[in-house]
Each structure stands twice: as C-alpha cells, then as structure tokens.
C-alpha cells in the first residue's frame, strides 16, 4: 500500500480499516458460532474427523513456530507429540494420578526435549538440521518402543478419560469441543507470539541470522525458544490425543507423522496463521473425502497435493514477506 495521500485520504483509509475489522470480527464470531453448533447436526463420523482436524490445527501451529516463524526445518516433530501422549499415559496408568496433572508435566518435559533437540542444531544449517531432527524423532520413537514403562511395542492401554467440572469427557461430542478449544487457544497463542518481541526476533533470525546477531539478538536463545514453544503445542495436543484414544502405541509417532504435520504447515503457507490452519484441515479432511475412492485414496490425495503446490507454490494462503 502506498504511503502518500492527504489527511482526508488517511482518515478514509482508517474508517475503511475499522469497518473491515468489524466485518472481520463479525465473520469470526459467526464462524465460531457455526463451529460450536456443529455437534447438534453432525454425526459421529464428522465429529471424529473434525476433532482430528482441530488436533492437527494445534500441531501444525506448533510446528509453524519452528518452521514458519523461526525458519528452522524440523523432521522429527512427532517426537514432541509422543512426549505429550506418553506423559499422559504414564501419569494416569503407571502413577495412577489425575489426567490433569499430566498437562504441566508434559509442558515441562516438552520444554526440556525442545531444548535438548534444539541444542545441537544451533550450529547447523537447514539440511543438516533436517537429518538431526529426523534422528531425534526416530530415537524417541525407538526408545518408547523399547522401554517397559511406556509399554514397549504394544504401547499403553486404558488411559483414563478425565472429568472437567464434574462432567465426564466421554463422548466424541465432548472431545470435539475440547479439541476446538485447543485449536482456538493455539490460534490465539500463535497470534500473540507472532506479534511479540520474540516473534519479531524469530523473523529477523529467519531472514538474516548474521544481521540479527549483529543487532544484539541472542540467536541461540531465540531458536531454542522456538523449539521449546513448538514442543509445548505438540505435547498438549499429545496429552489430549492419548486421553481421547485411551490407547497409544509407538506406531503413531513415526517419521511419516512428522512429515504429515510439516506437509500441513507448508501446504497451507508457513508463517501465516490462517494458511497453516487451512493446511491442517486439508491434510486431515482430504484423505477422508477420498475414502469412497477406496484403495486409491492416497493416490488421489498425492495428486491433489501436487496440484495445490503447483498452483499455489508458496502455500494455499502464504505469508506476505516484508
């Protein structure tokens, strides 16, 4: 947008802008209302798929902090998801504690894991970063597969479903609201982070690390914060995933899972929150749409991914780089 114009013009732009933001706010409210009313009309299948979609919105937003905001490649993001899920499993099954206790523990563990994974990667540039994060992801998966406390290859079964204000989270309808709430919280948090001091630091490091360092930004702390915060998103998602499924096993946290989440972020438009949300919806809902195609559904999914990237090379709804 060009800067010129007189005072009157500027005022007009201001009015336009406030009008637009009111309209935008009204649109959001309407959308949220519709989403809140969905369980009244939709059957369990739609609720399952939509709950999964909200979970992936949260996961993709978390990875977006690392990949989108800070510009670091991460091919082992499923590890943090596993940290959350297994924390919930261990806290409820092995320790016999309340599910809610697993949330703070998962946050702490994920922060630690994020720093541990982020640490060695600080010296590395993108593609070496890819293999290191991939390696960490695999190490976490193999470790939970081998340990007795994580139930070995069979995983953990019988994870407690929690109560909230005396109301049991039992039906898929209830979980729909839980995951919708998580997604909304994830969106709000992402938005706040993006426009915060650290958000600007991430983008600075992303676009020119050397310049950022010269300006006094502690690039190590900034990158570690990205890994840790991204990890927290996934860990919280993991806790609720575990309690929804009531059973978890190492096969959920493979390299393919990490790739799928990355797919959502890049497909939607990394760095752009609405884009990432859209990307998450695509990776969950598209394969479901193609269920009726039968055994060819992943083939159709692959073709549609390819087409989307060809027509929207920077993602469906990309960030405008300034």
Partner 1 sequence: MPLYEVLLQQFANGLILGSFYALVALGYSMVYGVIKLLNFAHGDLYMTGAFAGFGALSLFSGWLGGGWGGIVPAILFSMVAVGALGVIIDRVAYRPLRQAPKLSVLITALAVSMLLENVALAFTGGQYTAFTTNLGFAGVDLGMVHVTYTQMVLVGASVVLMVVLELFVSGTMHGKAMRAIAIDQDACRLMGIDVDRTIALTFLIGSALAAAAGVLAGVYYGSINFFMGFLIGLKAFTAAVIGGIGSIPGAMLGGILLGLLEAFGTQIPGVGSEWKDVFVFAFLILFLVFRPTGLLGRPEVERM
Partner 2 sequence: MKRRTILAIAGLFAFGLGGAGPAHAADIKIGAQVPTSGSEAPYGIDMLNAIRMAADQINAKGGLLGEKISILPGDSACDPQAAVNAASKLVSENITGVVGGYCSGATLPTLKVYGDAHVPFVITASNSTELIGANPGNAFMINSTGFDQVKTAVALFKAKGIKTLSIINEGDAYSANLAQLTRKAWEKMGNKVVDYEVVSKGQQDFSPVVTRIRERHPDAVFWTAYYADGALLIKQLRQGGYTGMIALGDGNNSPKLFQLAGAAAEGVYCFSNPTANFLPAAKTFIADYQKQFHQPPGPYSALSYDGMMLMAHAIKVAGSTDKMKIIAALKATHAFPGIAGPISFTKENTLARSNFVVLLGKGGQWTLYTGPGAPAAP
Binding interface with partner 2 (CB under 8 A): 43-49, 52, 142, 145, 152-155, 157-158, 172, 241, 245-249, 251-252, 278, 281-282, 285-289, 291-292, 294-295, 297-298, 311-312, 316-317
Residue with tokens 């490091």: 205
In the complex, least distance from residue 199 CB atom to partner 1, rounded to whole angstroms: 18
CA–CA separation, 236 and 283 (whole Å):
20
By CB under 8 A, is residue 309 in contact with partner 1? yes
By CB under 8 A, is residue 215 in contact with partner 1? no
Site string for partner 1, 49-88 (x = CB under 8 A): ------------------x---x-x---------------
Site string for partner 1, 93-122 (x = CB under 8 A): ---------------------------x--
Which residues of the chain form contacts with partner 1 (CB under 8 A)? Answer: 67, 71, 73, 120, 123-128, 130-132, 134-136, 138-139, 142-143, 145-146, 206-209, 255, 259, 262-263, 266-267, 270, 295-296, 298-299, 301-303, 305-306, 309-310, 313-315
């Amino acid at each position: 947008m060009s800067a010129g114009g007189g005072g009157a013009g500027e005022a007009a732009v201001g009015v336009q802008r406030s009008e637009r933001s009111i309209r935008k706010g009204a649109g959001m409210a309407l959308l949220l209302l519709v989403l809140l009313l969905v369980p009244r009309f939709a059957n369990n299948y739609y609720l399952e798929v939509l709950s999964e979609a909200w979970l992936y919105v949260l996961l993709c937003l978390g990875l977006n902090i690392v990949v989108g905001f800070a510009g670091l490649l991460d091919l082992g993001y499923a590890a943090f998801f596993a940290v959350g899920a297994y924390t919930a499993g261990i806290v409820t099954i092995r320790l016999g504690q309340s599910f809610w206790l697993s949330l703070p523990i998962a946050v702490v563990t994920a922060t630690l894991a994020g720093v541990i994974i982020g640490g060695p990667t600080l010296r590395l540039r993108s593609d070496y970063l890819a293999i290191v994060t991939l390696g960490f992801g695999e190490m976490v998966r193999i470790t939970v597969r081998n340990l007795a406390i994580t139930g070995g290859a069979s995983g953990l079964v019988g994870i407690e479903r929690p109560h909230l204000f005396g109301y049991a989270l039992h039906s898929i309808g209830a979980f729909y609201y839980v995951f919708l709430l998580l997604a909304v919280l994830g969106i709000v948090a992402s938005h706040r982070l993006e426009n915060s001091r650290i958000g600007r630091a991430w983008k600075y490091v992303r676009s020119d690390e050397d310049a950022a360092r010269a300006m006094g930004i502690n690039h190590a702390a900034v990158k570690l914060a990205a890994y840790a915060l991204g990890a927290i998103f996934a860990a919280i998602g993991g806790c609720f995933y575990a309690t929804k499924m009531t059973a978890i096993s190492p096969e959920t946290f493979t390299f393919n899972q990490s790739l799928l989440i990355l797919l959502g972020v890049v497909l939607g438009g990394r760095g752009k929150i609405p884009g990432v949300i859209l990307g998450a919806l695509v990776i969950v809902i598209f394969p479901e749409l193609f269920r009726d195609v039968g055994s060819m559904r992943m083939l159709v999914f692959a073709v549609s991914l390819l087409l989307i990237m060809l027509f929207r090379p920077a993602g469906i709804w990309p960030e405008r780089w300034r």
